[in-house]
Amino acid sequence: MLHIALYQPEIPPNTGNIIRLCANTGTQLHLIHPLGFDMEVKALRRAGLDYHEWAEVKQYSDFETFMAETDFQNIFALTTKAKTYAHKVSFSKGDCLLFGPETRGLPNEVLIMDSIQNIRIPMKPDSRSLNLSNTAAIILYQALADLNYEGLT
């Protein structure tokens, strides 16, 4: 199983879209608090289209708790600051794809951790970033391709 972790997500529709993505791919979602919204907010439910019951979602009070309570094969942090492109790494079962908050990205103290590999998506030089849920879908399907879409039809 692959994992997606959202570090302090801020925009309910993005998290809702990612819940739906996880439900449809059998990916476990990890939400690292504080969240920028209530999990019952209407925009989150609308974007997730009630897929919550089919998605495995775990929540953590903070990043330290997340790191202490999980044991992933690899953690790949998505950041525009990375030098390594996502298509240049090989993903494995048990890997976690870590995404930062929409307005500020992952903090430097997370990006410099030895246990985390920073990767990026190719973009035009002037581009700031892609939408969080779009980025999650792009990278997740890259990882699923490496696993030959095991379990998906």
| 139 domain residue, yes or no | yes
**pLDDT tens, position by position, 58-91:** 999 999 999 999 999 999 999 999 999 999 999 9
| 21 domain residue, yes or no | yes
Task: Report which of residues 51 and 103 the model is more confident about.
Answer: 103
| 127 domain residue, yes or no | yes
40 has a pLDDT exceeding 90: no
- Per-residue pLDDT, averaged over 5-24, amounts to 94
**pLDDT tens, position by position, 102-140:** 999 999 999 999 999 999 999 998 888 899 999 999 999
Question: CB of 107 within 8 A of CB of 77?
Answer: no
CATH code assigned at 103: 3.40.1280.10
